[in-house]
Amino acid sequence: MEKTTFEDKAGSEESGSLYDHDTAILAKLGYKQSLDRSLSAFGNFGITFSCLSILSGLTPLYGNALQSGGPVTVIWGWLVVSLFTLTIGMSLAEICSAYPTTGGLYFWTIKILEGRVVNGVHLGSPKWVPLASWVVGYTNWLGLCVAIASTDLAMAQFLASLISMTSGYLASTYVIFGIYVGIIFLHGLVNSLAVRLNGVFNILSVWWHVIGTAIIVIVVVATTPVKQSAAFVFTNWENNTGWNSGFYVFMLGLLQSQYTLSGYDSAAHMSEETRNAQQGGPWGIIRAIVVASAVGWFFLVGITFCIQDFQSQIVNPTVGISLSQIFLDSAGESWAIFLIIIILGAQFFCGSALTLASSRMVYAFARDGALPLSKHLHKLNDKKSPVAAVWFNIAFCFVLGLPYIWSETAYSAIVSVNTIASSISYLIPILCRIVLARDTFQAGPFNLGKFSIPTGIIASVWILVTSVLFLCPTEAPVTAENMNYALVPFVLVIGLCVVYFAIWGRHWFKPGGTRIINDSSVPEGELAIADGGMEATELKDVDSPENVATI
């Protein structure tokens, strides 16, 4: 592999040194530096924080969560979920520091195990690891795409509620879907820009979320004539689920918080575009979780003080969404419109950040040949941006949204797969780290030391518990209408994924840079990847001197 020229990359000796170091680490992992490495650590945090987006995650589900345990679940449950989510984030951050690549979790799954040495014997990866990596990649990608779809559909519904509030027009399902299509198309346009502009866009998103949340809480608290007591906010229990078990109802109420606090792996997917990625990526994960947890709790406490009538605002809101009803009743129509616009902006920022992160995941997955049309999806434009991967995800999100037209129940099942799929993609690399590579894992600059294994165990147990919860029915008695069908699309996706691997993928899926070719005619960043059914290009071993940069 030819030496990379860094003269145009370094504005100073220090930045050039960082770029050299990041490029050398990436080369050691088997990849060329192809993406534009222009993101600062704060830019990485901004994208990750935007993906978490407490205003996008909490606002659509606030009313539902209050009916499953009331303020007790919403307020205290948020803190419980935040703490457990932080254990997951720290476990992933440690692995991210060791392997800062855009592929993220699926690449980690193989890399963690390939260097295993036990009693002086090199064991390498078990035979099932490529399949596990494949499943992690597809569930990770699916989770990100469903997150885009659910966020943008929630934005379409909020926009429809705003239209209803101002004009009395009740948008049909087809109109809401049309708005949704327009939103995902706009996200495709935004993410076709250079990554430098995306970094600025997502830094703006951080301040929009923080200042916007403060404005919402201050305005609603200031304009609500009669506020709830502290006893109501911190101790009141409500149960409109039909279930008698208080513990089960409380656990169901946690789903709102768990749905919101996901997507932090986006920091890893931006690693190859982040300067000093071994520190910027891990801290992007942790800072995003901590800041989102603090801002989210402030929001929930403030708004819950302003509930005036539980039945009319939470159970049966006239405008369709509980928060919109609270805004309208407390602050009046003009302020309510302004506050909803703040939420709409946050939802747009969130959907855009998720589109950005998911496109990088597709780029990396295609770079290793794991997707149909891989040789097209991993190509970069002249701005070093994977635009084809962006529009591939936009097209897939259009397909994901189609069931909403015919059945909200079917769509809800697909949305539930978001958190389940993401959780599975988090679980597998963490388990590989703490079970099979407990003594052989080589940590990066960010590491948990002696707390690594206990943290990983807690994170794994929590992932398993919440994954099961997302498959459970939320209302009793259980009927065909309210049954949780999330297991059906999830099993279907995993089944197709395994069959796809067994028939085709196992022959050529080569993560870890083993698909870099010895062909000087191929532009840097454009690996020759064979599409399904085509003969793969002859590949050289990544450890060959020609293919690994001098470190």
pTM: 0.86
d(CA 493, CA 470): 16
Instruction: Give pLDDT, residue 436.
Output: 86
- Amino acid type, 291: V
Report the pLDDT value the prediction gives residue 20, as an integer from 0 to 100.
81
Q: Name the most confidently modeled range: 23-37, 149-163, 285-299.
A: 285-299
Q: Is the pLDDT of residue 4 over 70?
A: no
State yes or no: pLDDT of 547 exceeds 60. Answer: no
- Greater confidence (517 vs 150) lies with 150
pLDDT at 415 over 80: no
On the question of pLDDT at 134 being above 50, the answer is yes
206-255: per-residue pLDDT in tens?
A: 999 999 999 999 999 999 999 999 999 999 999 999 999 999 999 988 98
Question: For residue 394, what pLDDT band results from cuts at 50, 70 and 90?
Answer: very high
Q: Tokens standing for 381?
A: 């434009």
Burial class (CB in 10 A: 0-12, 13-18, 19+), 487: middle
- Most confident region among 124-128, 129-133, 290-294 by mean pLDDT: 290-294
What pLDDT score does 15 carry? 53
Q: Report whether pLDDT(546) > 70.
A: no
In sequence order, which residues have a C-beta less than 8 Å from that of residue 328 and are 6 or more positions away?
165, 319, 336
Residue range 122-130: mean pLDDT, rounded: 74
Confidence of residue 152 (pLDDT cuts 50, 70, 90): very high
- How high does pLDDT run on average in the chain? 84
pLDDT band at residue 297, thresholds of 50, 70 and 90?
very high
What proportion of the chain, given as a percentage, has pLDDT over 70? Answer: 85
User: Is the predicted pLDDT of residue 384 greater than 70, yes or no?
Assistant: yes
Mean pLDDT of 383-388: 86
Per-residue model confidence (pLDDT) at position 70:
94
Read off the pLDDT band of 118 (50, 70, 90): low
pLDDT of residue 305: 96
If you average pLDDT over residues 428-433, what whole number do you get? 94
Give the DSSP H or E segment for 396.
Answer: helix 387-401
Query: Are 296 and 54 spatial neighbours (Cβ–Cβ below 8 Å)?
Result: yes
Confidence of residue 406 (pLDDT cuts 50, 70, 90): confident
Q: Quick one: which of 470, 465, 457, 338 has its CA closest to 413?
A: 470
Q: Which pLDDT tens digit goes with each residue over 303-348?
A: 999 999 999 999 988 877 899 899 999 999 899 999 999 999 999 9
Neighbouring C-beta atoms of residue 221, cutoff 10 Å: 16
Give the three-class secondary structure for 51.
helix
When mean pLDDT is compared over 169-173, 217-221, 437-441, the highest value belongs to 217-221
Mean pLDDT of 100-121: 80
Residue 527: per-residue pLDDT: 37
> CA nearest 77: which of 302, 251, 259?
251
At 124 the pLDDT is 64
Angle in degrees, CA 175, 176, 182, rounded to 5: 90
Distance of CA 154 to the CA centre of its chain: 16
pLDDT confidence bin for 541, thresholds 50/70/90: very low
Angstrom distance (rounded) from CA 445 to CA 427: 22
Mean pLDDT of 359-374: 88
C-alpha to C-alpha distances, 368 to 131, 134, 212, 261, nearest whole angstrom: 14, 11, 40, 29
The 3-state DSSP class for residue 117 equals strand
Determine which of 10-14, 342-346, 369-373, 508-512 has the lowest per-residue pLDDT on average: 10-14
Q: Which pLDDT does position 21 carry in this prediction?
A: 86
Rounded mean pLDDT, 507-516: 64
Q: Which of these, 85, 95, 44, 47, lies nearest to 446 by C-alpha position?
A: 95
What is the rounded distance in angstroms from the CA atom of residue 395 to the CA atom of residue 216? 34
Residue of higher predicted confidence among 406 and 280:
280
pLDDT at 175: 92
pLDDT of 287 > 50? The answer is yes
Summarised one tens digit per residue, pLDDT across range 485-505 is: 888 878 888 888 899 998 888
Evaluate whether 201 touches 352 at the Cβ level (below 8 Å).
yes
- Distance (Å, whole) CA 159 – CA 163: 6
CA distance 175 to 193: 29
Range among 91-95, 320-324, 355-359 rated most confident: 91-95
Strand partners, 117: 122
Residues linked to residue 442 through DSSP beta bridges, in sequence order: none
* pLDDT tens-digit map of 449-478: 999 999 999 999 999 999 888 888 888 898
Q: Answer whether 250's CB lies under 8 Å from 66's CB.
A: no
What residues form DSSP beta bridges with 239?
68
